[in-house]
């Protein structure tokens, strides 16, 4: 005392309704009836929520079914530990002096020998399968399929249905709800499995709480900083409670000393094991770096003509595989590093052949390095690229400054090497064709084909199938007079969709806008230089911002300046527009 009184006050949270005196209602104090009442607490609560939803619907207050589903989900998530503990009560048995064992809650019932306990066990199995196990299976399915649904543009409806499990946490930590469910399931299971060895229960519970708290401190999974702090504080209080309750345990001194003697070997040996594994990992990493290539694909491209396309290709490759992709535009300041990466750390070089790529000295150096070192190279032929004649090919170095020529020469790249490498690239290698315009699924298929040519396997199909009906909440619009503008929109779509977990769509024409508009709330306009002189963009913009006849709402326009060279027109410019 007084902690015993405080613990008794919390029994209601654990679905312990002894204080209600059910015998006064049913005329008997039947343990089975009492246990059935605990099992039915959660289903009855969900049934009441469903009845309230049906009643509101009958009264004309229509709410989506997902509303009642999420209300029930929030309740289950909050009381999952209590639900699991309640279903496992019949298996929590303690030994008697005569060698038998009795239920801890009902000592008069002999475990595994009496018919009454057999009934308890049968009810418990039904309860476990229909409640905690079913919840864990559903939550596991939701979490493991969620990334693929988001990547495929179907994440919004999925996350709306299961927002009780997903929306409490940051998009990057969408899995944390499943971690909490499994943590609570294990904590509920430990007193049942280890009922005879309390000296083991306390350390294992502490380990479980510490493991999840370390993950929480590392990732800060909750959407608000306050929620992260509250989670940390509650876990700290639970750990303090475990430490304080340890001396109060009634233990057999001889057996507990032997058990704890072996148990304490685990953390001590773990310290030595962690140090050993750390050194071993460093050694293995050093050996692998010598034997394996660091990057699976090196994307050689002209920044102005193919920068956005290359970024799109990298994002698509990462969606389909765990391949490591290097973009040379990320480190243009260090030319020596670029050539060294191709020579020593790259398995495949993909040359994105846009209009001006072959006239760039750095790109020439990358191509020559791949040619000299016999690196597997794949030309990606884009719209707008024209093969150079032999004469035009020889004239390429005349476009470079003396400093650029000298810079290439300092790395062992001569002008004759450039001519030979360009001939090898254009005439000896088999190119892949990349369409710059049209739906993004066409470019995605080319990227998958490129991965196959490079020896990389795709772990999933293309993001959108032929029968997929798009219901985006966000529409993305821009000028498509240049292919790079379209690629920038598609990159923006992938990044925005992954960050917000909301379905987005790049719209190209009036028909696509009309199809998607009833489901959309926002229209993002990516602004590039000269976009306001594109009549097609202006027409699409005006059509998209009109009030939708079916949804009776207008899209909220969000302009995004995607080009540092974009200029807001002056008064004369607006009059001209």
Q: DSSP assignment of 143-175, as one string?
A: HHHHHHHHHTT-HHHHHHHTHHHHTTB-GGGTT
Rounded CA-CA distance 435/74 in Å is 47
Q: By the 8 A CB rule, do 178 and 140 touch?
A: yes
- CA 351 vs CA 64, 367, 412, 461, 560: distances in Å: 51, 8, 21, 24, 30
Residue 533's CATH number: 3.40.50
Given 393, 422, 453, the domain boundary residue is 453
Count of domains in the chain? 3
pTM over cut 0.75? no
Whether residues 448 and 483 share a domain: the answer is: no
User: Could you tell me if 305 and 430 lie in one domain?
Assistant: yes
Angle, vertex CA 456, rays to CA 450 and CA 458, nearest 5: 85
Residue 467 is predicted with a pLDDT of 47
The reported pLDDT for the residue numbered 1 is 62
Question: Are residue 188 and residue 334 in the same domain, yes or no?
Answer: no
The total of other beta-carbon atoms located within 10 Å of residue 504's CB is 25
Q: Which of 160, 178, 196 is the last residue of a domain?
A: 196
Inside any domain, residue 157: yes
**Residue 177 within any structural domain of the chain:** yes
511 and 428 fall within a common domain = no
**307: how many CB neighbours lie within 10 A of its CB?**
20
Q: According to the model, what pLDDT value does residue 126 have?
A: 92
User: How many angstroms separate the CA atoms of 294 and 288, rounded?
Assistant: 9
Instruction: Tell whether 394 and 540 lie within a shared domain.
Output: no
118 within domain boundaries: yes
Judge whether 58 lies within some domain. Answer: yes
Strands 376-382 and 346-353: parallel
Say whether both 133 and 23 belong to one domain. yes
Residue 78 has a pLDDT of 87
Closest CA to 364 of 327, 335, 334: 335
Query: Sign (positive/negative) of CA torsion 391, 392, 393, 395?
Result: positive
Counting as low any pLDDT under 70, the low residues of the chain are 1-29, 151-156, 246-256, 258-260, 288-293, 329-336, 460-469, 551, 573
CA–CA separation, 430 vs 424, rounded Å? 10
Domain identity same for 366 and 515: no
CB 544 within 8 A of CB 476: no
Tell whether 226 is covered by a domain.
Answer: no
DSSP letters spanning 51-76: HHHHHHHHTT----HHHHHHHHHHHH
Helix axes 80-87, 176-193, angle to 10 degrees: 30
412 & 319 share domain: yes
* DSSP code per residue over 463-510: SS-TTPPP--SEEEE---SSHHHHHHHHHHHHHHHHHH---EEE--SH
The answer as to whether 564 is a domain residue is: yes
**Distance, CA of 21 to CA of 237 (rounded, Å):** 32
Spatial separation of the C-alpha atoms in residues 408 and 367, rounded to whole Å: 12
C-alpha pair distances (Å), 475 with each of 479, 499, 515? 14, 15, 11
DSSP-assigned letter for residue 331: G
* Domain boundaries, position 482: 474-576
Residue 227's contacts (CB-CB under 8 Å, 6 or more residues apart) are 168
Kindly list the distances between the CA atom of residue 327 and the CA atoms of 296, 303, 324, 346, 405, in Å, as whole numbers in the listed order.
11, 10, 10, 12, 23
Domain contains 109: yes
Q: Does 353 share its domain with 402?
A: yes
For 297, the enclosing helix (H) or strand (E) is strand 295-300
Q: Pick from 143, 158, 149: which is nearest to 463 by CA?
A: 149
The pLDDT tens digits for 45-74 are 899 999 998 898 888 787 888 888 888 998
Distance between CA 42 and CA 228 in Å, rounded?
27
**324 DSSP assignment:** -
The residue from 403, 420, 453 where one domain ends is 453
- Tokens standing for 84? 């699991």
Residue 221 lies in a domain: no
Joined tokens for residue 419: 């001519």
Given a contact cutoff of 8 angstroms between Cβ atoms, the answer to whether 313 and 436 are in contact is no
Going from the C-alpha of 186 to that of each of 35, 124, 132, 278, 476, the distances in angstroms are 21, 17, 11, 29, 45
């Amino acid at each position: 005392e007084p902690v015993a009184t405080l613990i008794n006050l919390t029994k209601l949270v654990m679905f312990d309704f002894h204080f209600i005196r059910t015998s006064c209602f049913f005329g008997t104090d039947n343990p089975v009836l009492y246990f059935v009442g605990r099992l039915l607490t959660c289903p009855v609560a969900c049934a009441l929520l469903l009845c309230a939803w049906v009643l509101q619907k009958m009264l004309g207050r229509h709410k989506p079914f997902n509303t009642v589903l999420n209300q029930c989900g929030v309740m289950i998530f909050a009381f999952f530990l209590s639900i699991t503990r309640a279903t496992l009560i019949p298996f929590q048995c303690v030994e008697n002096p005569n060698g038998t064992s009795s239920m801890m809650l009902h000592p008069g019932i002999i475990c595994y020998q009496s018919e009454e306990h057999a009934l308890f066990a049968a009810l418990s199995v039904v309860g476990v399968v229909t409640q905690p196990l079913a919840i864990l299976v559903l939550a596991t399915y939701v979490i493991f399929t969620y990334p693929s649904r988001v990547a495929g543009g179907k994440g919004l409806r999925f996350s709306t249905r299961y927002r009780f499990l997903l929306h409490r946490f940051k998009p990057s930590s969408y899995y944390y709800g499943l971690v909490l469910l499994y943590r609570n399931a294990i904590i509920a299971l430990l007193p049942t499995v280890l009922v005879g060895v309390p000296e083991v229960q306390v350390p294992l519970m502490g380990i479980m709480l510490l493991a999840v708290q370390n993950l929480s401190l590392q990732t800060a999974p909750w959407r608000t900083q306050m929620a992260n702090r509250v989670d940390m504080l509650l876990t700290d209080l639970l750990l303090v409670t475990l430490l304080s309750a340890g001396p109060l345990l009634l233990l057999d001194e001889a057996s507990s000393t032997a058990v704890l003697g072996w148990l304490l070997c685990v953390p001590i040996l773990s310290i030595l094991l962690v140090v050993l594994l750390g050194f071993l990992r460093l050694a293995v990493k050093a050996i692998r770096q010598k034997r394996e290539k660091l990057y699976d694909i090196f994307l050689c491209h002209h920044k102005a003509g193919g920068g956005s396309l290359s970024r799109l290709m990298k994002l698509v490759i990462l969606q389909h595989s765990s391949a490591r992709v290097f973009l040379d535009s990320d480190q243009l300041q260090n030319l020596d590093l670029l050539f060294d990466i191709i020579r020593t750390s790259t398995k495949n070089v993909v040359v994105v052949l846009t209009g001006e790529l072959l006239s760039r000295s750095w790109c020439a150096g990358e191509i020559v390095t791949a040619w000299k070192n016999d690196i597997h190279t794949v030309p990606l032929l884009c719209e707008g690229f024209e093969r150079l004649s032999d004469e035009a090919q020889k004239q390429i170095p005349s476009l470079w400054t003396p400093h650029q020529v000298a810079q290439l020469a300092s790395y062992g790249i001569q002008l004759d090497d450039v001519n030979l490498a360009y001939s090898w690239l254009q005439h000896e290698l088999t190119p892949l064709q990349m369409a710059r315009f049209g739906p993004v699924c066409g470019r995605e298929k080319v990227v998958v084909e490129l991965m196959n040519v490079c020896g990389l396997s795709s772990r999933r199909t293309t993001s959108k199938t032929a029968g997929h009906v798009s219901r985006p909440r966000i529409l993305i619009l821009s000028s498509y007079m240049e292919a790079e503008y379209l690629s920038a929109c598609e990159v923006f779509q992938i990044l925005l969709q992954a960050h917000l977990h909301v379905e987005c769509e790049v719209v190209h024409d009036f028909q696509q806008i009309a199809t998607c508009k009833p489901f959309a709330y926002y229209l993002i306009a990516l602004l590039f230089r000269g976009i306001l002189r594109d009549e097609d963009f202006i027409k699409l913009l005006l059509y998209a911002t009109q009030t939708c006849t079916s949804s009776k709402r207008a899209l909220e326009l969000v302009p995004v300046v995607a080009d540092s060279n974009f200029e807001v027109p002056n008064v004369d410019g607006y009059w001209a527009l």
